[in-house]
Chains A and B, each alone.
Chain A
Amino acid sequence: MTPRARRIARFLARRLAQGVALLLCIAVLDFALLHAVPGDAADAIAGEAGTADPGYVATLRHQLGLDQPLPVQLGLYLGRLAQGNFGYSFRYGQSVASLILERLPATLLLMAASIGFAVAASLVLGTLSARFANRWPDRLITLVTLFFYATPLFWFGLMAIVLFGVHLGWLPTGGMYDVARPRTGLAFALDVARHLVLPAFTQACFFLAIYTRLVRTSMLQAYGSDYVRFARAKGVGELRIALRHVLRNALTPLVTMVGLNLGTLLGGAVLTETVFSWPGIGRLMYDAVFQRDVNLLLSILVLGSVIVIVANLLVDMLYAALTPAVELR
């Protein structure tokens, strides 16, 4: 093992240990918070049923294990979690793991598409903005991105549906794919892509504005630095300077921001999912809060924490790859 590899291994081991400790704290905290809210799943289910006699509520509470003391419930929950078992959702009559797995791909696809689009577009727009700083292309880009940023997501989404779905009829108004069509091959991929356009674009608008501003600012900063002046003096071409010297340095803050957004991946798309009837996990979580479906909610929260921890770790490692000045220790 080279010293560098050993350093990285030590870094990873320490961060993983920290991550597990953090996860435990989060799980306990979430548990406490959820139980501090008045009303439990039995209240929610009985309330939904319209009416119920006390015997029904008691049966339900016993079934759900809600009649046990809180520390016992917490112990059972942590024990299950340690074995990688997320438990059972009584509201949905299904294991939590299968519920989450069923909804996860839709969320991952939506977030990957929207963040991917936002990053690509912001690199182009940000670079243009920086190259033409304070001239009309820059002003136009700033105006457009600020509009995207300031517009409420759901309004933007609804307007897009009315325009492209209802009036023009180019794109479907919602859902992830056409239920009536076969779900195989290229035709299915294209169908999903057609359904993905509007929600991904709507979700991307929000990220796009932040990322573009970020790329612009950091590129302007890099343009003013000594090494760019030196490269110019050496006779390096403008394009090469922009891409290799300026953009690469400007990527660090962008990576930080994307890493933070990845953390909100599980819950961040509730509005987009609601408006576009996208069968993702954000809506599942939202409903779980109102149903007091503690098993489901805790599992999603814990999973969310895992993603945040892993995303942060990846971002730290990317820093090292992007900037030789950063070392992992």
Chain B
Amino acid sequence: MAETFSPSLGRRALLAGAGALAAWPAHAQTPARGGTVVMTIIPEPSSMVSAFNTAAPLTVVSPKMVEGLVTYDASLMPQPLLATGWTVAPDGLSIAFTLREGVQWHDGKPFTSADVAFTLMELIRKFHPRGRATFAALTAVDTPDARTAILRLSRPAPAIMSALSGSETPILPKHVYEGSDPLTNPANNAPIGTGPFRFGEWKRGNYIALTRNETYWQAGLPYLDRVVIKTFNDATARSAAFEAGELQLASTTPVPLADIDRFQRNKAFTVTDKGDELNNSMDLLAFNLRRPNLAKPEVRQALRQAINFDVMMRTVWYGLAMKLDSPVPPVLPQFHAPNLPVPPFSPAQANAALDKAGFPRGADNMRFRLTLDLPTISDVYQREAEFLRQSLRQVGVDVEIRISDVPSFIRRVFAQYDFDLTLFPGSATNDPTMGLQRFYWSKAAAPGAPFVNAWGYANPEMDQVLEAAAVEVDTAKRRALFIRFQEIAMLDLPILPLALPANITIATAKLHDFMGGEGIRDSLARAWMQG
């Protein structure tokens, strides 16, 4: 495989391309009004609002129609959207939002602070998959007037300011949801929001059509007349549709990895790996610490040294992934610990450590057997598992790969704890309290809840650091706590972060400004099509 890899086409080149994208002068060309963009979301969303189900496809479609209190800039700092300003009290126990004047819901009713209070208290806190955790400290939302919403907190919760995008915490109309069962409200499939596009129609398995919101609060926006989201279930078919001009925008690496290089060379397309900084889905390998062999930290460290990450990047991801030295990816520089020690790849050292740990090779030249559970997500996952199996075989660990579909996988790993090693996607999000605490905090363990600490990891110092960081209002002190978090995480190593696979977006070169700070979850308000 290695010889088919050309470094000039790898991640480095992509990043350079993305840099050029970001460096475009904002007004080099005058945006043109009108036109339709045909995009696809993989797989087809199951609903249109990301309040009650936060599956990735929903978080891409929802913000086109439903907005959040704030949006984020390229450095992930909050910027005004439905809220024009906010003040966090010095004690961190309240956040006061000033809301925008003259915003209308798609049905013509005015947007007020009552909508914000209702959404946060009655919808997000009760029915959002993560809302209960993110807004756990929220006790009330005061609405002294129609333009002011004050969040009252029982303890400081700095992560809330990172969770207010339209994709994570969409603000929904009180008059539509009040008095109904929110989970079965028809507006979940035909949203009434404040966003730049209105819901048009949804032919399931076929397409979703969104039309321009003529009364959008940002005068003159959006530029596009229509956004059509077509369903394509096959990666090669997407390649063909792009090349035939029938598809103009798609994210989450829409075409086979082997085709990426062809699209990069083609001047008719923009290819970038930017745009997923609010989500950051990493591939993680967790160890079941209930197993006597894996319970020893020196065994876990030895297994880490048995993996050649450079070769893994090239063969598994064709170079389209970022190596990780800690669970906080480098794309979050405000939290990432830059100088953590990285042990060298060394099967010899790994073998010695395993011998010393009391696991000599047996008659069949193997030390012990481990199962590796993974969900059927993509062929990349299977390649990863095969690579791990071969790597660990070199140091006398026999790995049996078990692949099951997502519900079976969740039952086995997160409800029954019936695994030795498990490979799964974990989103760091844009704040470690939201994205990572659940994997490392001993109190996050809850049988049956997917993607939380299911490995039996408990370290009092780790708990203390995470709990302190969750309520620390001072930015510098919070960063220091997260650096300590990463040191402990890599020392204890309950989880081995493998990579941050590139989330590649392809667009026709005629489409401009399709990524704001929220990246692939952008509302497309400023996107425009060159004639």
By beta carbon, the residue of chain A nearest B40 is: A277
Q: Are B232 and A277 in contact (CB under 8 A)?
A: yes
Contact at B55–A50, with CB atoms within 8 Å? yes
Cross-chain contact of B129 among A49, A173, A275, A292 (Cβ < 8 A): A49
Question: Is there contact, CB below 8 Å, between A52 and B236?
Answer: no
Encoded as 1 (CB less than 8 Å from any B CB) or 0, chain A from 205 to 229 comes to: 0000000000000000000000000
In the complex, the chain B residue whose C-beta lies closest to that of A59 is: B127
Min Cβ gap A197→B in Å is: 15
**Which chain A residues border B206 with CB–CB below 8 Å?**
106, 175-176, 279
Q: A49 — which chain B residues lie within 8 A by C-beta? A: 53-55, 129-130, 450
- Once the chains are docked, how many angstroms separate the CA of A165 from the CA of B233? 17
Inter-chain contact B411/A38, CB cutoff 8 Å: yes
A182 at the interface (CB under 8 A from B): no
Complex alpha-carbon distance, A44 and B404, angstroms: 12
B54/A54 in contact, CB under 8 A? no
Interface: A190 (CB within 8 A): no
Q: Does A262 contact B (CB under 8 A)?
A: no
How many angstroms from the CA of A63 to the CA of B243 in the assembled complex? Answer: 44
Say whether B54 contacts A169, CB under 8 Å. no
Cα A38 to Cα B188 in complex, Å, equals 29
B189 contacts across to A, CB distance below 8 A = 92-94
Contacting A at CB under 8 A, from B123-153, are 127-130, 132-133
Report how far A43 CA is from B228 CA in the complex, Å.
30
Q: Are A174 and B47 in contact (CB under 8 A)?
A: no
Interface residues on B, range: 35 or more
Is residue A290 contacting chain B, with contact meaning CB distance below 8 A?
Answer: yes
Q: Is the CB of A47 within 8 A of B410?
A: yes
Residues of B157-216 whose CB lies within 8 A of A = 183-184, 186, 188-189, 203-207, 209
Q: Is B237 a contact partner of A52 (Cβ separation < 8 A)?
A: no
Interface residues of B in 421-462 (CB under 8 A from A): 425, 427, 438, 446-452
| In the complex, residue of chain A having the shortest beta-carbon distance to the beta carbon of B188 | A93
**Interfacial chain B residues near A91, Cβ < 8 Å:** 46
Residues of B close to A166: CB separation below 8 A: 240, 243-244
**In the assembled complex, A194 has its CB within 8 A of some CB on chain B:** no
A179 touches B188 (CB 8 A): no
Q: How far is the CB of A327 from chain B (nearest CB, A)?
A: 44
Asked if B474 CB lies within 8 Å of chain A CBs, one says no
A165-B244 contact, Cβ under 8 Å, with A43-B407, A173-B237, A279-B206: yes
Complex contact A277–B132 (CB within 8 A): no
**Cβ contacts A2-44/B at 8 Å (1 or 0 each):** 0000000000000000000000000000000000011111011
**Measuring CB to CB, which residues of chain A are less than 8 angstroms from any residue of chain B?**
37-41, 43-57, 59, 63, 88, 90-94, 99, 102-103, 106, 154, 158, 161-162, 165-166, 169, 172-176, 179-180, 273-277, 279-280, 283-284, 287, 289-292
Top 3 A-B pairs ranked by shortest CB distance?
Answer: A39-B407, A279-B206, A279-B205
Q: Show 16 A/B contacts (Cβ-Cβ < 8 Å), sorted by A.
A: A39-B405, A41-B407, A44-B410, A47-B451, A52-B450, A52-B451, A93-B184, A94-B204, A174-B240, A175-B207, A175-B246, A277-B234, A279-B203, A279-B231, A291-B407, A292-B407
